[in-house]
Homo-oligomer: A and B are copies of this chain.
């Protein structure tokens, strides 16, 4: 970093990212980025920050994966609104001691995903600070009034999730415990690949209800849908999709698999509801080419309730919070 300086870093980013982007009148290189307002669309904005020491450690993180994750967690939020990515701004704080290979790897990973997602880097800021801190603001668009919200679940809706849950959380535990052998779980934690394109395909589905991306654990995030939509929910724990071998791996670590699934966080899968007569999980799985599982129903009430083998189980009312657990 020291050799490069702030200006050199901006120049490197501009060269890598390119200064012309389709749909953008001005990208990197003026006081601000300028975009034509898309006709008949709503604009969607989301922001997420990753901080060294809070969200990752260099001892277990590779620069490229970190670059991808920095954008991926934001694409996940755009996807949960059903939005098409349009571009992003990066606010990048890094220490003077950062190595060229960290900087280079991070930029490669970031821009690789940006290319794949057609979500160009259009602006931002680079500054010096004590630890790596990356704030991305991602911009997307949805047809006017069509964005998938948290507040549109209705009593009777089927409750669905994509992919598998709990894996990233188990991976985090393994990393923090110093397990040397790389696992699929560690990979889910370090290099998540959210299915950010599913949301916008779901927009075309009949009978969509509410949606969000699972970032803080099923219990916490489902409660958000319940609060926003003023409904309750009933979930059958045994229906929640997990990786093959997940329970065995949890046993080995002496972890409660339900705790990881319900409160672990960083799944970056979609949690959504569909009207009961609209579609089934198997139809959606075929339609999306991605696993969708029905795990319960939206019911009257204000909170999620959980059942195991038909019997209600009580879940301690706690939420995963970075401030408390890391």
Q: Show the binding face of A for B, using Cβ within 8 Å.
A: 1-2, 5-7, 25-26, 29-49, 51-55, 77-78, 80-81, 83, 89-91, 93, 96, 122-125, 127-131, 133, 135, 137, 139-142, 144-145, 147, 149-151, 212-213, 228, 319, 321-324, 326
Least Cβ distance of A147 to chain B in Å? 5
**Set of chain B residues within 8 Å of A326, measured between Cβ atoms:** 128
Please pick, from B35, B127, B139, the residue contacting A51 in the complex, using a CB distance under 8 A. Answer: B127
Measured CA separation A6–B322 after assembly (Å): 7
- Is A49 touching B228 in the complex (CB atoms < 8 A)? no
- Is A321 touching B133 in the complex (CB atoms < 8 A)? no
**Set of chain B residues within 8 Å of A2, measured between Cβ atoms:** 323
**Set of chain B residues within 8 Å of A124, measured between Cβ atoms:** 47
> Do A30 and B322 form a contact, CB below 8 Å, given A35-B42, A43-B35, A47-B123?
no
Measured CA separation A6–B30 after assembly (Å): 35
27 contacts across the A-B interface (CB closer than 8 A)? A6-B321, A6-B322, A6-B323, A25-B42, A25-B145, A31-B46, A31-B77, A31-B81, A32-B78, A32-B147, A34-B42, A36-B43, A37-B39, A37-B144, A39-B39, A43-B43, A46-B89, A47-B89, A47-B137, A49-B135, A51-B127, A54-B128, A55-B127, A93-B133, A128-B323, A129-B131, A130-B130
Least Cβ distance of A253 to chain B in Å? 25
Measured CA separation A49–B45 after assembly (Å): 18
- Is A47 touching B91 in the complex (CB atoms < 8 A)? yes
**Set of chain B residues within 8 Å of A323, measured between Cβ atoms:** 1-2, 5-6, 96, 128
**Set of chain B residues within 8 Å of A6, measured between Cβ atoms:** 321-323
Least Cβ distance of A270 to chain B in Å? 10
**Set of chain B residues within 8 Å of A122, measured between Cβ atoms:** 45
- Is A319 touching B54 in the complex (CB atoms < 8 A)? no
Least Cβ distance of A41 to chain B in Å? 5
- Is B147 touching A25 in the complex (CB atoms < 8 A)? yes
Least Cβ distance of A141 to chain B in Å? 7
> Do A125 and B37 form a contact, CB below 8 Å, given A6-B323, A135-B135, A323-B5?
no
Least Cβ distance of A42 to chain B in Å? 5
**Set of chain B residues within 8 Å of A25, measured between Cβ atoms:** 42, 145, 147
Measured CA separation A123–B149 after assembly (Å): 15
- Is A31 touching B133 in the complex (CB atoms < 8 A)? no
Please pick, from B5, B39, B47, the residue contacting A125 in the complex, using a CB distance under 8 A. Answer: B47
Measured CA separation A32–B148 after assembly (Å): 10
Please pick, from B52, B133, B228, B319, the residue contacting A30 in the complex, using a CB distance under 8 A. Answer: B228
Least Cβ distance of A37 to chain B in Å? 4
> Do A32 and B53 form a contact, CB below 8 Å, given A1-B323, A319-B7?
no
**Set of chain B residues within 8 Å of A41, measured between Cβ atoms:** 37
Please pick, from B45, B129, B133, B228, the residue contacting A33 in the complex, using a CB distance under 8 A. Answer: B45
Q: Which of A38, A83, A124 has the most C-beta atoms of chain B within 10 angstroms of its own C-beta?
A: A124
Please pick, from B37, B123, B213, B322, the residue contacting A42 in the complex, using a CB distance under 8 A. Answer: B37
